[in-house]
Structure 1
Amino acid sequence: MPAPKASPWWTPERHADRRPILLARNRFDAALRSWLAANEFLVVDPPGLQRSPGNEAHLHAFGTSMIGNDGAAEAMYLHTSPEFTMKKLLAAGEVRIASLQHVWRNRERSALHHPEFTMLEWYRVGEPYDAIIADCVAIIRLAADTTGIDQFNFRGRVCDPRAEAERISVADAFLAHAGIDLLATMDDLGVPDGDALAVQMADRGLDVPEDRSWSYLFSRILVEKVEPALGNGRVTILDRYPACEAALARRVPGDARVSERFEIYACGVELANGFGELTDAAEQRLRFEAEMAEKQRIYGERYPIDEDFLAALALMPEASGVALGFDRLVMLATGAPRIEAVLWAPVAE
């Protein structure tokens, strides 16, 4: 027999069970805003409605129409991140900004995904991405201190949020946890070779899927072999992503194969994704076009490129930035089993 359906989130009994976690969420929200103010971040409020929701192949947006006074409809999207608007604010002259607001991503619902969720995104002008990484570690510890939790637990994995964080490159993580020499599957300019990666997978007894594009194989290995080993015992900073997997990040000086992109994990859960930001508009256009070609190949659709954003890059100074999943961090800091447990009102169940 199928399991009995849970009562709606708005029933008094279920709300009473959820309320302590929701109050902890609010305490962390307040502590985080105080931390941002103490570190001189100006909190901004980008609009959710955009002409382009972002240009990454595997991010999916919610589309809508904006009706003008003349009755004509224009295609619009709910943004998947406030990134484009925030970088325009950097071009306008802001130097240290943050946003804590809702974003929307389609085709995503699971214990760790929700179609509407809260994202903390922040930028530092003229500072290396090491400063942004340090911010992330401090905010993770702030979450634990605010709720009073000793260690994070998720699906049998534990992580001490106060322990010194591990920092490892993507290439070293693939070698350590999957036996894959990732850099050997790219040329000196960072152009990847899917067949070379497939050969290594087969040599190590890994299943090689029919789709042998390098990006797909990379994602499979990352999800199945690497991510489960990250953030166990202590927070992991996964650093220096392949350039072809970092559409918005600048390349590492001296090695065109990798870029200044990092992700942060705890208990195998990805919490943050950050960059040393790319400010070359011509290269950014090429990367967006490649991402949208891949999206068209896989999903049969593409999103428009924000020409206003590319124009703003000409004025944008060197900066580092990161997006952190606020709800996921609240989950870990409260011991909640899934993301909907920490939302005041989840999207229709």
Structure 2
Amino acid sequence: MNDLSLVNFASNWQPSAAIEMLKARAQLLGTVRQFFAKRDVLEVETPALSEFGVTDLHLRNFATDLIGPAAPRGKTLYLQTSPEFHMKRLLAAGSGAIFQICKSFRNEEAGRIHNPEFTMLEWYRPDFSLPQLMDEMDALLQTLLQCPAAEYLSYQQAFINYLGIDPLNASRSQLIDAGKAFNVADLLSTETNRDSQLQLLFALGIEPKIGQQQPCFIERFPASQAALARIATDDPRVSERFEVYFKGVELANGFHELTDANEQRRRFEQDNELRRQAGVPPMAADERFLAALTHGLPDCSGVALGLDRVFMLALGAERIEQVVSFGYERA
């Protein structure tokens, strides 16, 4: 039986968000654009489709096939998980400070705060330090959410405060023991990747407790979780990366951006080795992005913010489909 036959299209055609909610969303989008216009940050658009995906172990691209005269032999294209690589190519070409509001796509779970297609706000500030970017992010959140100024915690201090362990020095057995309070010790004991262990403990023991009254910036993530961020000059164990949480929801991920093409290629190769170990197909490194880094990416800081989640908090919604016109089940 075709699954479509089970869907009640008589009611399923309607938007998942109330029209009044969509009007409020439009006002918030206007506020975002005004925020950046006042700061002389250029709005840009970049492709949603690329011949390159991402190597990150924890991200999955949607893929499609280009056919016809444009690709007589067929060509796989990937919907982008974020506009990061294209925006950095613009920065390398001399764009200056830029921002983008766009659709991004991740082939992962769907639920209360997850939709496979979602709206991303991403911006880059040449010559901004990470603290300067965090201050700007704090100002934007106060503008959109009418919330107090944020608090700041290092990744290390958050683990010490809430789990009683130092994530930079804890032994494997200490990490497993910490999981007993959440009934995941057995799962942690079978996990061979230390960062996956830390991420599970963070999700269960720290995320629900931070940023309840005000947004919380978690900064200085372990160097092994640097992604596309630089390693801190004062402590090679940590990276110049932050995430933002508010009311139990992860909102943003920001970096003092890596500009070294050789180091970036090494990290892509490392990602793919982790994918092989996990039984996940490796992904080709984005050679155009690496070429842009070789040409020269200006010293900059950048951040990606999940706008749908911000709108949920701003408008008092319980689920993400309440702030998007059509959630994935009605798309």
- Provide TM-score, normalisation by structure 2: 0.91
SS in 2 for 1:109: coil
1:274 Cα offset (Å): 0.3
Instruction: Say if 1:256 and 1:345 are closer, same or farther in 2 by CA, change over 3 A.
Output: same
Counterpart contact for 1:53–1:77, Cα < 8 Å: yes
> Number of paired residues?
317
1:135 Cα offset (Å): 1.8
1:111 Cα offset (Å): 0.4
Amino acid at match of 1:107: E
Which position in structure 2 is the counterpart of 1:304?
A: 284
Counterpart contact for 1:51–1:304, Cα < 8 Å: no
1:10 Cα offset (Å): 3.7
Which position in structure 2 is the counterpart of 1:39?
A: 39
Q: RMSD across aligned C-alpha pairs, in angstroms?
A: 2.0
Alignment partners' CA distance in 2, 1:122 and 1:33: 12
Which position in structure 1 is the counterpart of 2:19?
A: 19
Alignment partners' CA distance in 2, 1:8 and 1:253: 57
Alignment partners' CA distance in 2, 1:100 and 1:217: 33
Counterpart contact for 1:9–1:345, Cα < 8 Å: no
SS in 2 for 1:255: coil
Which position in structure 1 is the counterpart of 2:299?
A: 318
Cα deviation code 1:188-238 (max 9, x no counterpart)? xxxxxxxx2333432774514211320211111011101111111111000
Counterpart contact for 1:284–1:310, Cα < 8 Å: yes
Instruction: Say if 1:322 and 1:56 are closer, same or farther in 2 by CA, change over 3 A.
Output: same
Cα deviation code 1:88-108 (max 9, x no counterpart)? 001001110001010000022
Counterpart contact for 2:46–2:86, Cα < 8 Å: yes
Counterpart contact for 1:166–1:237, Cα < 8 Å: yes
1:7 Cα offset (Å): 7.5
Q: Does 1:230 align with 2:210?
A: yes
Alignment partners' CA distance in 2, 1:95 and 1:225: 40
Give the strand-richer structure, 1 or 2. 1
Alignment partners' CA distance in 2, 1:302 and 1:204: 30
Which position in structure 1 is the counterpart of 2:177?
A: 202
Alignment partners' CA distance in 1, 2:114 and 2:173: 29
- Provide TM-score, normalisation by structure 1: 0.86
Counterpart contact for 1:236–1:264, Cα < 8 Å: yes
Which position in structure 1 is the counterpart of 2:228?
A: 248
Counterpart contact for 1:53–1:81, Cα < 8 Å: no
Pairs within 5 Å for 1:133-282? 133-145=134-146, 161=147, 163-185=148-170, 196-202=171-177, 205-206=180-181, 207-209=185-187, 210-282=190-262
Alignment partners' CA distance in 2, 1:6 and 1:234: 41
SS in 1 for 2:298: coil
Amino acid at match of 1:126: D
Which position in structure 2 is the counterpart of 1:114?
A: 115
Alignment partners' CA distance in 2, 1:201 and 1:57: 22
Gaps of 5+ in 1: 146-160, 186-195
SS in 2 for 1:259: coil
Which deviates further from its counterpart, 245-254 or 201-210?
201-210
Instruction: Say if 1:166 and 1:9 are closer, same or farther in 2 by CA, change over 3 A.
Output: farther
Counterpart contact for 1:252–1:260, Cα < 8 Å: yes
Counterpart contact for 1:100–1:120, Cα < 8 Å: yes
Alignment partners' CA distance in 2, 1:130 and 1:68: 49
Gaps of 5+ in 2: 1-7
SS in 2 for 1:258: coil
The percent of aligned pairs where both chains have the same amino acid is 38
Alignment partners' CA distance in 2, 1:335 and 1:204: 32
1:273 Cα offset (Å): 0.4
Alignment partners' CA distance in 2, 1:215 and 1:143: 33
Counterpart contact for 1:169–1:241, Cα < 8 Å: yes
